[in-house]
Amino acid sequence: MAAVLVTLEGLFGVGFGIAEAFHTTPARATMGVTTSLFFAVFGAALVGCAWGLSRSAAWARGPVLIAQLLALGLAWNFKDGDTWPASIALAVPAVAVLIAMLRPESLAALDGPGHPDEDADEDR
C-alpha cells in the first residue's frame, strides 16, 4: 500500500513540475524553471523510492519517511483559509503511508542485511 501511495505522490509531483513548466512566464522564468525542475526531480525520486519499497529495499525507507513528514508539515501550513483542501490532500496519504511503513511487518521487511535480529537468528 505504501509503495502505491508513494508512486501516486511521485507521479503527482512530476505532473506538477510539468504543468509548472508550461505555465512559466518570461517575467518569472528563473522561479518557474527551478520550481519545475524541483518538483519533477522530487517526484521522480519518490517513484524510484516507491519501486524500492515494492522490492523491500531498506534504502527506500528513509527518503519516503522524510517525504511524508515534509508533507505533514506542509499540510499543517495549509490548514487555514482557502487552502484547507490542499492540507487534506497532503495529510491523508502521508498518514496512510506512515501507518503502512511503521507496521511491524513493514519494518521487518525493510530491515537490511546485518540487522541485529537477523544476525541473532543466524547464530542459532
pLDDT one-digit tens code per residue, 52-96: 999 989 999 999 999 999 999 999 999 999 999 999 999 999 999
Residue 49, domain extent: 2-111
Q: State the pLDDT at residue 109.
A: 82
Mean pLDDT, residues 110-123: 56
Residue 81 is assigned to a structural domain of this protein: yes
Q: How many CB atoms lie within 10 A of CB 8?
A: 14
- pTM score of the predicted model: 0.81
Residue 122 is assigned to a structural domain of this protein: no
Residue 104 is assigned to a structural domain of this protein: yes
Residue 53 is assigned to a structural domain of this protein: yes
Residue 6 is assigned to a structural domain of this protein: yes
Rounded to whole angstroms, the Cα distance separating 6 from 57 reads 14
Residue 118 is assigned to a structural domain of this protein: no
HSE (CB half, 13 Å, CA atoms) of 53? Answer: 26
Q: Looking at the 3D structure of the chain, how many domains does it have? A: 1
